[in-house]
Amino acid sequence: MELTGPQKAAALMVSLGKDVSSVLLKNFTEEEIKLIGRHLTEMSMIPGEIVDTVLQEFLDNYTNSKDVPVLGEEFLKDVLKKAHGDKAEQILEEIEEEKSKIPFQNIRKVDSKVLATFIQNEHPQTIAIILAHLEQKKAAEVLSMLREAVQAEVIKRIARLDSVQNEVLLEIDKILEEELLTRGTVNQQKLGGTQAAAEIVNCLDKKTEETVLGLLEEEAADLAEEIRKLMFVFEDLLKLDDRSIRTILKEVKNDDLILALKGASEELRNKIFANLSSRAAEMIKEDLEAMGPVKLSDVEEAQQKIILVVRNLEKEGKIVIGGGGEGDQLVI
């Protein structure tokens, strides 16, 4: 098992005991103490071979290989009191606060255009990690403001993300802290995947969506196809049962529904009308007949709003949807 420097320091201090460690801590900065402290509070048992390796590195003649039981928080509290007195409590509180932070939580408050400008020159992998922490609609907004050459590459990397090492997240978070955010620390985070990539692409405007998927197909056709299958498009409402449709219609604004149906197939229109009251269906039909020509972009925007409602209901567990491709999963 390969330990980082702070982890080795934490293991060494526990092995040496409180009195010696309180003297050693006086030689560390507050930031170093916080970093070591976070590892101490997470410890419950240090394997003997780790103790042996750490002490061998610092004390060539140390050979004790017994496991060392650790009460991390209690140990740290006692050591800090010896080393820093009254200031110990403040340092402990700061350690706990940093442990509880979520990475990149404050970027959700940053304007999409500002964030896009800030990350536009970052490596696509870095951008992918950042966007994977955002709500899909915001991630799509930011992605659509990046250069076309970067967009498909970022989606590809989001789709292939799995877990990200803590050190990588900390490094990215530190950079963001200096410019926009307050730094947070976490352990490995489950990020991305083809589903996350599909949901972000699903929130893009039609032109950007086609550009991203088109470029992605040239580089990774299989991945592009997988993302397409996972995407939910407006016409996929046909795949849902009547109970699902009624649940969705309760959350949709009437104006959005009318505009969205302007660009819908006759089959989908009939399915929607069948799940409305006779009076409501008749009124919408009349509004559609009276409606003049409308911009395609306005129709697509209305449809995207309804798709967002569908995704939110799915997250809340009120409906279950399949992908945009094959499959016949229906609402509970």
User: What is the Cα–Cα distance from 20 to 200, expressed in whole angstroms?
Assistant: 53
Task: Kindly tell me if the per-residue pLDDT of 325 is higher than 50.
Answer: no
Identify the pLDDT of residue 71: 47
User: What is the Cα–Cα distance from 251 to 314, expressed in whole angstroms?
Assistant: 13
Q: 15-19, 93-97, 270-274: lowest mean pLDDT where?
A: 93-97
Among the candidates 181, 212, 228, a domain finishes at 228
Closest CA to 301 of 234, 249, 254: 234
Same domain, 174 and 239: no
Token digits for 55? 């002490």
Can you tell me the mean pLDDT for 198-208?
80
Q: Which domain holds residue 282?
A: 232-315
Same domain, 148 and 57: no
**Could you give the percent of the chain with pLDDT greater than 70?**
70
Task: Kindly tell me if the per-residue pLDDT of 70 is higher than 50.
Answer: no
The contacts of residue 111 (CB under 8 Å, 6+ apart) are none
Identify the pLDDT of residue 251: 93
Q: How many domains, in total, are found in the chain?
A: 3
In a domain, 184, yes or no: yes
